[in-house]
Structure 1
Amino acid sequence: MAQAPRSSIDLFTPDSITNPYPLYKELRDLGPVVWLTSNQVWAIPRYEEVKHVLKNWDTFVSSRGVAMDAAVNAATSGPKANSLTTDRPLHDEIRRITSAPLLPGALKEIKPLIEDTARRTVDDLCERETFDGMTELAQVLPLTIVSDLVGLPIYGRESMLRWAAATFNAMGPMNERGKGAVAEIKELHEFCLKEAIPGKLRPGSWADRIYKVVGDNKTLAERCPAMMREYIGPSLDTTIFATGHILRLLGENPTQWQLLRKDPALIPAAIDEALRLESPVRTFTRCVQKDVELSGILLPADSRVLVMFSSGNRDERKWDQPDEFIVSRRPTDHLAFGHGIHTCAGMHLARLEISSLLMAMVERVETIEVGKPEIFLNNTLGGYASLPMRFSRN
């Protein structure tokens, strides 16, 4: 059996987060499995191996946590686990409850509201000299419509982005960002236990529905606060960052924007291509349940693998011109939403929000100008804090 290559690359420094793709290529070139000496974890940088790990959920388990830090994994496992940190059969039972409002059939009810808000937002921005693509466009639908649908008390709604960022910071190493997230995560947990409860949640909201569906099921009732967290982070940050990425990519690639304007049927493919090229979630971990061989490398039981979604999505072994943004590519098998039983439950909502914005833009915007984005430094998420933009109307 082969010896795994080693690397001293630290994927979680500010420079690495700001410009990760040369480092990802270096790791892919080293091999399918690389031991990261700085983080003491097995990196999985290539597409096929990432997909294999995600597919084989019973060998590379989530029920022992998906973070890099042991204490964080202990705090999000057991009774505090949601679908992200459980395996079958419990995973499927939780997912059945939390994903119901996010399925295509359920989203039909809110589609007109999302599309109308998207049109009004783009109309307003077309009249502006410049605007921030993140706070004034990418955040609009998640922070208005989606946060209202979740139905938290007002303090929770105001804190959702902050808590989401902290949650994803804690998924990485206990560097300065990881340590700084601990207090905010404790605040989130307390909020879910004491404030995000029946009587304080908006009646009929997604969060309120969790308690109604669980009812008298004592086994699941203790998990309601953990299930609540599934609506707080993934429903916001990932969609916001994915929207920011496609806005920048279309602004920097005007020929691709014109292709989209001429053929709006390409919008779903353009969304997939942006997700492939700039995955909002860069990495999660899995725990190796038993000794296993992966592409000729022995991974011992109880070790942890770093599943590199962003790197796999730019693997030269999978994609032609992997660093190019091509709206007609149709990369439906990208890994930005994950793969297997843990495929993102909110992907239909994310597609609806982004496609609604793009359709409103296609109908109204002739050219898109973007400036240099400010990188949002987070251990797990990849996105922008701000993105200077300008629209010129048709």
Structure 2
Amino acid sequence: MPDIPVSDVDLFADDARIDPYPIYRTLRDLGPVVEMSRHGHYALPRYADVRAALMDWKTFSSAKSVFVDPTMNAQLEGITLCSDPPDHTMMRSVLGRPLRPDRMRDVAPTIEAEADRVVGKLVAQGRFDVATELAEHLPSTVVSKLVGLGESHRGKMLEWAAAIWDVQGPANERFHAAMPRVEEFLGFAQHEAVPGKIDPDGWAAHLYQAADRGEMPREKCPVMMLDYVTPSLDTTILGITATIALFAAHPDQWDLLRADRSLIPHAINESLRMETSVPQFTRVLTEDHEIDGVPLPAGSRVALLYGSANRDERKYPDPDRFDITRRPSDHLAFGRGEHVCVGMHLARLEMSALLERLADQVERFEVVGSRPLLNNGLRGLEHLEVVVR
């Protein structure tokens, strides 16, 4: 049996959150499976193995949760993200109704009108923070309204969502700092985000209506709101911000897009491949399993490194090059298989609406300042100040 290489790198350390790509390359070179000694699990750093794991939920189970800390994993068992069929199928069928592609056609005019307004305003300013002024606008205004939790909590949603992502990692300083905000959000979901206090036409209310029809247990409703708030905010915000940062660094690619708007879907895919907002989730093996010739025992927790897989040179030639003609629709930033991101159509709609309007009005982005986000579950920029012309 082959020896499994061991790495003591901490993928949750500040330097690894800021620039994980040299680390990812080292892990890919070590082998298809690497033991991550600091946090007691294995990691799959290569594209083919991560994709195969995502397509095999029966072997790579989410039912024992998908985070890192054992205590947090035990607490989260049973939520949509941390479940397998048939429970996962039941919850996802309810969650996904307002996010289906046909429903996005109803939402599109609102998103496009807001995109018109925010892009026009910011381009007129000439200088703005992409992360907080552009990228946050659609998720925090349109999406929060669709969820229907109320205007008074809109500002809190970003804070709560970021905290939930922070507890995805090990019990480090960021993890502990986030716990009070996570508890605050769970309390809000349990006691405030309930029928009579939320928009009866919003997505959150639809969860309770589905429960009343007997489609799912009513006690699932509060935690299922995590699935609307958490993925719909930070990941899209980071994706939009990363896309503009890449175009600022590669003006030739922006020229291509401005000349041919049919490249917008491919540009979004290439940006998500290059800068994956959620670098990893974990799974637990339900049986002894061999990965590319490496055997692992049942019960092993395995991290699927999406951020590494999306830059695997075995899959993508010259993977560190931003090329919007690459058309990498098979990237793993949204996951694959049973747990593919339920909100990906909404994210694409928001990103497309902004890129269309920016392409009409902006010739160049010049970065004048940026700051990386430090979060256990997310990766990207929390500030990106640009001048446009």
- TM-score bin (small chain): over 0.9
Please report how far the alpha carbon of residue 371 of structure 1 lies from its aligned counterpart in structure 2 after TM superposition.
3.1
Q: 8 Å contact 1:156–1:191 — kept in the other structure?
A: no
SS at match of 1:381: coil
Is 1:83 the counterpart of 2:75? The answer is: no
Q: 8 Å contact 2:273–2:333 — kept in the other structure?
A: yes
Aligned-partner Cα distance in 2 for 1:119–1:182: 37
The aligned residue for residue 121 of structure 1 is 118
Please report how far the alpha carbon of residue 372 of structure 1 lies from its aligned counterpart in structure 2 after TM superposition.
4.0
SS at match of 2:365: strand
The aligned residue for residue 203 of structure 2 is 206
The aligned residue for residue 27 of structure 1 is 27
Aligned-partner Cα distance in 1 for 2:175–2:238: 20
- Per-residue CA shift, 1:14-38, capped at 9, x if unaligned? 1111111000000000001000112
The aligned residue for residue 232 of structure 2 is 235
- Per-residue CA shift, 1:204-228, capped at 9, x if unaligned? 0011111112215385211011111
The aligned residue for residue 36 of structure 1 is 36
Please report how far the alpha carbon of residue 190 of structure 1 lies from its aligned counterpart in structure 2 after TM superposition.
1.1
Is 1:8 the counterpart of 2:5? The answer is: no
Aligned-partner Cα distance in 2 for 1:272–1:220: 36
SS at match of 1:286: strand
Please report how far the alpha carbon of residue 115 of structure 1 lies from its aligned counterpart in structure 2 after TM superposition.
0.8
Aligned residue type for 1:62 = S
Q: TM-score, with normalisation over the residues of structure 1?
A: 0.97
Aligned-partner Cα distance in 1 for 2:118–2:283: 40
The aligned residue for residue 179 of structure 2 is 182
Is 1:380 the counterpart of 2:387? The answer is: no
The aligned residue for residue 321 of structure 2 is 324
SS at match of 1:322: coil
Aligned-partner Cα distance in 1 for 2:272–2:216: 37
Is 1:47 the counterpart of 2:47? The answer is: yes
Please report how far the alpha carbon of residue 249 of structure 1 lies from its aligned counterpart in structure 2 after TM superposition.
0.3
Is 1:345 the counterpart of 2:364? The answer is: no
The aligned residue for residue 255 of structure 1 is 252
Q: 8 Å contact 2:18–2:380 — kept in the other structure?
A: no
Counterparts of 1:89-108 in structure 2 under 5 Å?
89-108=86-105
Call closer, same or farther: CA 1:323–1:218 in 2, change over 3 Å: closer
SS at match of 1:27: helix
Q: 8 Å contact 2:91–2:216 — kept in the other structure?
A: no
- Per-residue CA shift, 1:203-259, capped at 9, x if unaligned? 200111111122153852110111111111101010000000001001110000000
Please report how far the alpha carbon of residue 129 of structure 1 lies from its aligned counterpart in structure 2 after TM superposition.
3.4
Aligned-partner Cα distance in 1 for 2:154–2:295: 45
Aligned-partner Cα distance in 1 for 2:153–2:289: 43
Residue correspondences, number: 389
The aligned residue for residue 66 of structure 1 is 66
- Per-residue CA shift, 1:30-79, capped at 9, x if unaligned? 001000112221011000111111111111110110011111111111xx
Long gaps (5+) in structure 1: none
Of residues 274, 278, 287, the one that matches 1:277 is 274
Aligned-partner Cα distance in 1 for 2:58–2:184: 32
Percent pairwise identity: 44
- Per-residue CA shift, 1:242-299, capped at 9, x if unaligned? 0000010011100000000000010000000000000010111111112211112221
Aligned-partner Cα distance in 2 for 1:209–1:7: 46
The aligned residue for residue 358 of structure 2 is 361
The aligned residue for residue 215 of structure 1 is 212
Long gaps (5+) in structure 2: none
Of residues 135, 138, 142, the one that matches 1:141 is 138
Aligned residue type for 1:20 = P
Aligned residue type for 1:166 = A
Aligned-partner Cα distance in 2 for 1:298–1:60: 14
Q: 8 Å contact 2:235–2:277 — kept in the other structure?
A: yes
